[in-house]
Amino acid sequence: MGISGHILVIDDEAALRHTLARILQRANFEVTTAASGQEGLALLGQQTFDLVYLDLRMPDMNGMDVLKAIHAKSPEIPVVLFTAQPDLDSALEALRQGATDYLLKPLQPRDLVKRTETILIRQVREQRKRQIKSQIGALEDELKNLENVDGIQEQASKVGIDNGRFLARGKITLDLYARRLTFGEKNVNLPPTTFDYLLVLFRHAPNVVDYQTLVTEAQGYEVEFREAQELVKWHIHHIRQAIEPDESKPRYLINVRGTGYRFVAD
């Protein structure tokens, strides 16, 4: 696919760390490894990385603390956590803290490479989007300096500056530029991947979106039914926390048992 990137693997298990490095290196990625959270953070302060694979459970510093430290300094770096012990609460907390994904051991080589490519391709696209948005912002500022507010609004309407920026369903609006959710008068910032899940549901509303389609359209890769069901569950829980008055009686995100979810506006 021609995608490249510098990847940091942080794991205290030497055998797994070296195996992951070999798999990724054979796929033509540059790989650096760290045996602990502290060593990984030190490397992040010295080098530039495009993606971090991080073990959730390590003796010196757990993965959640490392994730927080990474995003405190470099929030744009995608971080994927992995563990041999599935834990829904830990997964949800990781997503709240900005983790891009959450994988279970053992990691299959083909799946690891495919997900790496998908995340790095998305990273390149997001960087380009930020550049374009910055350019649009600069042009809008220039317009404000040249014309009065009414004139700017009229011209913006003619050239379609805001065309396609907002997607609304009932009380909920998605800002596709700022990637922010507005619920009534409240602005809500969702983790990037969770926002993408909601966007998929919005675009299909009010139709049902099955688990595997949700993962494919929101994250860019295909998974088996059971794994898709678990991945979707984490993100749906987080979205419901943001928009549902009562999570136990959801009004907007409706579960179609054994199939998937659908979004229903007021």
- In tens, the pLDDT along 173-227 reads 898 888 888 888 888 888 888 999 999 999 999 999 999 999 999 988 888 898 8
The answer to whether the peptide bond before residue 192 is cis (omega within 30 degrees of 0) is: no
**51 or 107, which is more confident:** 51
Give the separation between CA 61 and CA 40, rounded to whole angstroms: 10
First-last CA distance in the chain: 43
Give the separation between CA 181 and CA 77, rounded to whole angstroms: 22
Spelled out in words, what is the top-level CATH class assigned to the domain 164-263? mainly alpha
Model-level pTM?
Answer: 0.58
In this structure, are residues 158 and 151 in contact, taking their beta carbons and an 8 Å threshold?
no
Q: Is the pLDDT of residue 139 over 60?
A: yes
- The pLDDT assigned to 88 comes to 62
Give the domain ranges of the chain.
6-122, 164-263
CATH architecture, domain defined by 6-122: 3-Layer(aba) Sandwich (3.40)
Instruction: Work out the pLDDT band at 87, boundaries 50, 70, 90.
Output: low
- The values of phi and psi at residue 222, to 5°, are -100, 140
Tokens of 194: 């969770």
260-263/186-188 β-pairing: unpaired
- The pLDDT assigned to 236 comes to 93
